[in-house]
Amino acid sequence: MNLAPSLLSADFGDLRAEAREVEPLAAYFHIDVMDGHFVDNLTIGPPVVNSLRKGLSRPFDIHLMIDHPLAYASRFEIHPGDIITFHIESADDLDHTIEAIHRTGAEVGISLRPKTPIETVLPYLDRVDLILVMSVEPGFGGQAFMPEALERIRFLRREIGERVITIEVDGGIGVKNIRDVVDAGADLIVAGSAIFNHHDRAAAMSDLLAAAGQSVRLRS
Ligand code: DX5
Ligand code: ZN
């Protein structure tokens, strides 16, 4: 399993420095894009995300919590290995949105709010690279993990079978529950407050990896 630190809990006035601090143990930077409609919060969009890239080497895991992913996906500058994830509950046509994201060169992820029936994603399994299971209502960092997510992860893992699809989980994950999430079948773990609320981010990430049963190794 891999960690994707969520920059939502970082200092937005110093994003690049914050990102560099977590980079050695991160597989991706998880970047939460919110429009104030789809969720009750506003964050950053393409101009900030695109200018953040300089000096960073990890791919971006862009989590779109917006009504119109089709209109905005192509405005992100994509580098090899980047992921763009949009929500199945967004207003746009899902097939067109999947195609539009693929055209950017990014891998495609679909996410579901905690109350959206998990079966709704099954028709798309052959066309996406990643499924993002939300374990909190999207919008804010620092919320409590919803344990119902574990059964949803197990269900997806069974349905995915031999397909190469990453299961990512986002919301409320910390040292107390990361092992349960990984054991349920998750590959990519988002953590915001569990990393950035600590002064020593590297130690917080090492603790998360150790709690997940992983050996800690710095990435080159
Ligand atoms: C919430 C965002 C998450 C958020 C997670 O809507 O999608 O990525 O940063 O924060 P924590 O890990 O604090 O729950
Ligand atoms: Zn997120």
pLDDT confidence of residue 87: 98
Summarize pLDDT for 168-177 with one digit per residue, the tens: 999 999 999 9
For residue 95, tell me if it sits in a domain: yes
pLDDT of 216 over the 90 cut: no
For residue 217, tell me if it sits in a domain: no
User: The sheet that has 188-191: what strands, in order across it?
Assistant: 2-5, 188-191, 166-170, 130-134, 107-112, 83-87, 60-65, 29-34
- If you average pLDDT over residues 210-218, what whole number do you get? 85
- If you average pLDDT over residues 9-18, what whole number do you get? 97
Cα–Cα distances in Å, from 189 out to 29, 36, 195? 11, 25, 12
For residue 29, tell me if it sits in a domain: yes
pLDDT of 220 over the 80 cut: no
Q: In this structure, what CATH number is given to the domain that contains residue 88?
A: 3.20.20.70
For residue 116, tell me if it sits in a domain: yes
pLDDT confidence of residue 194: 98
- If you average pLDDT over residues 55-73, what whole number do you get? 98
**Separation CA 192–CA 54 (nearest Å):** 22
Q: Which residues lie across from 93 on neighbouring strands?
A: none
Phi and psi for 95 in degrees, rounded to 5?
Answer: -65, -45
Q: What is the DSSP letter of 25?
A: G
Residue 170 annotated as catalytic: yes
Total domains in the chain come to: 1
Domain membership of residue 155 as a residue range: 2-211
Given the residues 32, 61, 82, 92, select the one marked as catalytic: 32
With a pLDDT cut of 70, the percent of the chain lying above it is: 99
pLDDT confidence of residue 27: 98
Whether the CB of 8 sits within 6 Å of ligand 1: yes
Cα–Cα distances in Å, from 43 out to 29, 49, 125? 15, 11, 29
Whether the CB of 168 sits within 6 Å of ligand 1: no
The ligand 1 atom at the shortest distance from the C-alpha of residue 137 is 6
Instruction: Give one DSSP letter per residue of 159-214, joined into a string.
Output: HHTTS--EEEEESS--TTTHHHHHHHT-SEEEESHHHHTSS-HHHHHHHHHHHTTP
> pLDDT grade, residue 9 (50/70/90)?
very high
Residue owning tokens 């143990």? 25
- If you average pLDDT over residues 92-111, what whole number do you get? 98
For residue 10, tell me if it sits in a domain: yes
The ligand 1 atom at the shortest distance from the C-alpha of residue 173 is 12
15-22 and 201-211 helices cross at what angle (nearest 10)?
A: 40
Give this prediction's pTM: 0.97
Pocket test for ligand 1, best of 8, 65, 84, 85 (most atoms within 8 A of CB): 8
Considering the chain, what is the average pLDDT of its residues?
97
- If you average pLDDT over residues 12-37, what whole number do you get? 97
- If you average pLDDT over residues 197-216, what whole number do you get? 94
Phi and psi for 133 in degrees, rounded to 5?
Answer: -90, 115
Whether the CB of 7 sits within 6 Å of ligand 1: no
For residue 219, tell me if it sits in a domain: no
Whether the CB of 2 sits within 6 Å of ligand 1: no
> pLDDT grade, residue 215 (50/70/90)?
confident
Summarize pLDDT for 108-162 with one digit per residue, the tens: 999 999 999 999 999 999 999 999 999 999 999 999 999 999 999 999 999 999 9
Given the residues 35, 61, 82, 170, select the one marked as catalytic: 170
Strands 29-34 and 130-134 come out as unpaired
3-state secondary structure of 159: helix
For residue 218, tell me if it sits in a domain: no
For residue 59, tell me if it sits in a domain: yes
- Neighbouring CB atoms inside 10 A of 3's CB total 24
